[in-house]
Structure 1
Amino acid sequence: MRSKADLTAAIRNGGPAVLVINARARTGAALLQHAPRRLTEQGIAVARVIDVRRPDRLPRALDEAVAEKPDLLIAAGGDGTLSTAGKRLADLDMALGVLPVGTTNNFARSIGWSGDLDGAFATLGSGKVADVDLGQAGPDTFTNMVSLGVSVQVAGRVPHRLKRHLGRSAYPLTALAALPGHRPFRARITAGDTELEFETHQLNIANGAFHGGRRIARDADIDDRLLLAYRFGTASRLHLIGSAVRHALTGAYLSMDDEPFLTTGDLHLETDPPLPLDVDGEIRGSTPVRIHIRPNALRVMVPQDFTDR
């Protein structure tokens, strides 16, 4: 495994790159037309472009990209695409490059993306390689978040066309439609000597710093060796709505030391009744489950001012 400085230098000196584009992402098809040229202008040596038009084709496309043994594998897509790419590149001696063209782009924001696609291209051309954490939920690796409750219903219901036209507003609208029929659940979190038990409609366990395109807490970080567990409200549906709105408005000002957060590197989660898990937007596994951090498991291109711990 090369040092981060050596891998950065290899990319700068013309080391090969492979570009994988999810053409079904919100603006992925448009990006396909100009991304290779713009990468070349940034000094990135693109050896191959792989166009993915079906979601079930993505894992195979990433396997093909990794088989090329590039120094840089650039993934263009939303959080689902980047999560799949991050898991595939875990513990490998190559860097993940990010071109965020999804709806919320939580992972890209967590690694310092400013929200401007031009900035993403510039990062690939002049950034650096950093190591960031991944999460592990049972057998499944994740980049952003594990959640359960209303979000599981939302993950399976948000229409692709609605996401394309409304962006991240599609998620809360779908959640509101699902909420009247949703039943609260009891959760128990054990982390070392700490044990929490409560009722709620929604529980999140985050590795990254953003949820729904908004900051979870001002000091949350994808490179801090910590999971951030928090719930939205209690068993009351009105409390859930109020808690979610309040968090969306104030998350950038909250600290991880504040309520309702629990920070830990390792936890055990039980629920009554047992519930399915939303792992980075895909329904995989169920409670009870152990969730923990995999420190520095993924190499990724980040802006020069990103704090690499």
Structure 2
Amino acid sequence: MRTKGELEAAIGKGGPTVLVINSRSRRGRRLYGRTRRLLREAGLEFVHVFPVTDPSRLRGLFADVLALEPDLVVVGGGDGTVAEAVGHLAHRDIALGVLPLGTTNNFARSLELPLDLPGAVRTLTVGAPDGGKVADVDVGWFESTGDPQGDGPGGDREHIFANMVSLGLSVEVAGSVPHTLKRFVGRPAYALTAARLLPRHEAFTARITIDGKTSEVRTHQLNVANGAHHSGQRIARDASPDDRLLAVYRLGDERRLRLASATARHVLTGPRRSLEEDAFLTTAHVEIETDPPLRVDVDGEVRGRTPVTIRLRGNALRVIVPRTFVDT
């Protein structure tokens, strides 16, 4: 593995770069042509461009990407596209560049990337005065019950995630939000769908084990975050994908109205509150059981059921970030 400085220098000198762009993401279809033009104008050259019109092909496509032995893989799309890339690029001598073309862009926000397309492209111009740098950030690893993926050669990579593991109402929302509504209204589509589903949603009991100590909570929503954002909102001012911590937190208790008010507080106070507050449990390893067993959402994809084990893998992924990003 090269040092971050060595990899950054190789990229700045025009080392082999690959572009993967999901033209089916919310903004990808509309901005595909403009994205290619801005990349050309910035002087970014690619040994291969993979436009993706069928997201189910992403997993197999990365075998072709890695065969090109690039220094940098630029991925344009939403959190699902980025999550797929993270699993393939973690623990490799390759940097990931992100063009945020999705609905919530949680991972891009956690990396403090500009969400406007010109700004994101400028960050990719490593070596330029206003370009970014190579940093290494944390990823998560999970193991759930009945996960249909993750077996066989390379299966360990199938368990890596970028941003968050969720249990509860959000899993139902992710599977129910109308694609057309999401495409036209963006992030509010999730809130509208949650409001429709909440009156019928049943609370659950979660047993959370950290360092041999088990605590029990009742709630409608439980999250385990590696990143700093959920639903496009910061979870805490000091949360970061580079802090060697998983943040475990619930939204509200068993009362449905408490979930609504907790979500509102999450939106309004997230940028001000701290991971040191009682609302959060921070750890590098957590085990969760639920009653009843629940489906597990991993970066927007259902991956088995509880019980689930989640671990942190520190500094496992190299990414292009703004120069102002604090890299530990």
TM-score by length of 1: 0.97
Return the alpha-carbon distance in structure 1 between the equivalents of residues 212 and 307 of structure 2: 18
Point out the more displaced range, 140-149 or 190-199: 190-199
Are 1:205 and 2:224 an aligned pair?
Answer: yes
Alignment match of 2:277 (pick from 258, 266, 274): 258
Return the alpha-carbon distance in structure 1 between the equivalents of residues 216 and 70 of structure 2: 47
SS state at 2:270 partner:
helix
Return the alpha-carbon distance in structure 2 between the equivalents of residues 34 and 249 of structure 1: 34
Q: Which residue pairs with 2:118 in the alignment?
A: 118
Q: Which amino acid in the other structure matches residue 238 of structure 2?
A: D
Return the alpha-carbon distance in structure 1 between the equivalents of residues 3 and 36 of structure 2: 27
CA displacement 1:118-142 (0-9 Å, x = unmatched): 1110110121111110001116211
Using the TM superposition, give the Cα deviation of residue 262 of structure 1 relative to its aligned residue in structure 2, in angstroms.
0.6
Using the TM superposition, give the Cα deviation of residue 55 of structure 1 relative to its aligned residue in structure 2, in angstroms.
1.5
Using the TM superposition, give the Cα deviation of residue 43 of structure 1 relative to its aligned residue in structure 2, in angstroms.
3.0
Q: Which amino acid in the other structure matches residue 156 of structure 1?
A: G
Which structure 1 residue ranges, 5 or more long, are not aligned? none
Point out the more displaced range, 125-134 or 23-32: 23-32
Q: Which amino acid in the other structure matches residue 115 of structure 2?
A: G
Are 1:174 and 2:193 an aligned pair?
Answer: yes
Q: Which residue pairs with 2:139 in the alignment?
A: 134
SS state at 2:47 partner:
strand
Using the TM superposition, give the Cα deviation of residue 193 of structure 1 relative to its aligned residue in structure 2, in angstroms.
4.7
Output the aligned Cα RMSD: 1.1
Q: Which residue pairs with 1:78 in the alignment?
A: 78
Alignment match of 2:203 (pick from 158, 179, 184): 184
SS state at 1:11 partner:
helix
Return the alpha-carbon distance in structure 2 between the equivalents of residues 92 and 56 of structure 1: 23
Return the alpha-carbon distance in structure 2 between the equivalents of residues 204 and 237 of structure 1: 17
Point out the more displaced range, 29-38 or 42-51: 29-38
SS state at 1:33 partner:
helix
CA displacement 1:55-111 (0-9 Å, x = unmatched): 211112222112111111110000000011111111111111100010000000101
Do 2:35 and 2:117's aligned partners in 1 also have CA atoms closer than 8 Å? no
Which structure 2 residue ranges, 5 or more long, are not aligned? 126-130, 144-149, 151-158
Residues 8-19 of structure 1: pairs in structure 2 closer than 5 A: 8-19=8-19
Do 1:130 and 1:300's aligned partners in 2 also have CA atoms closer than 8 Å? yes
Q: Which residue pairs with 2:259 in the alignment?
A: 240
CA displacement 1:185-241 (0-9 Å, x = unmatched): 000111115432110000000000001111000000000110001001111001111
**Paired residues, number:** 309
Q: Which amino acid in the other structure matches residue 168 of structure 2?
A: G
Q: Which residue pairs with 1:225 in the alignment?
A: 244
Return the alpha-carbon distance in structure 1 between the equivalents of residues 141 and 304 of structure 2: 12
Residues 39-58 of structure 1: pairs in structure 2 closer than 5 A: 39-58=39-58
Point out the more displaced range, 247-256 or 136-145: 136-145
Do 1:228 and 1:261's aligned partners in 2 also have CA atoms closer than 8 Å? yes
Return the alpha-carbon distance in structure 2 between the equivalents of residues 236 and 29 of structure 1: 40
Q: Which residue pairs with 1:144 in the alignment?
A: 163
Identical-pair percentage: 55
Alignment match of 2:298 (pick from 279, 295, 299): 279
Q: Which residue pairs with 2:94 in the alignment?
A: 94
Are 1:59 and 2:59 an aligned pair?
Answer: yes
Do 2:106 and 2:229's aligned partners in 1 also have CA atoms closer than 8 Å? yes
CA displacement 1:265-306 (0-9 Å, x = unmatched): 111111111111000000002111211101111111111111
TM-score by length of 2: 0.92
Do 1:107 and 1:143's aligned partners in 2 also have CA atoms closer than 8 Å? yes
Return the alpha-carbon distance in structure 2 between the equivalents of residues 31 and 3 of structure 1: 34
Q: Which amino acid in the other structure matches residue 182 of structure 2?
A: K
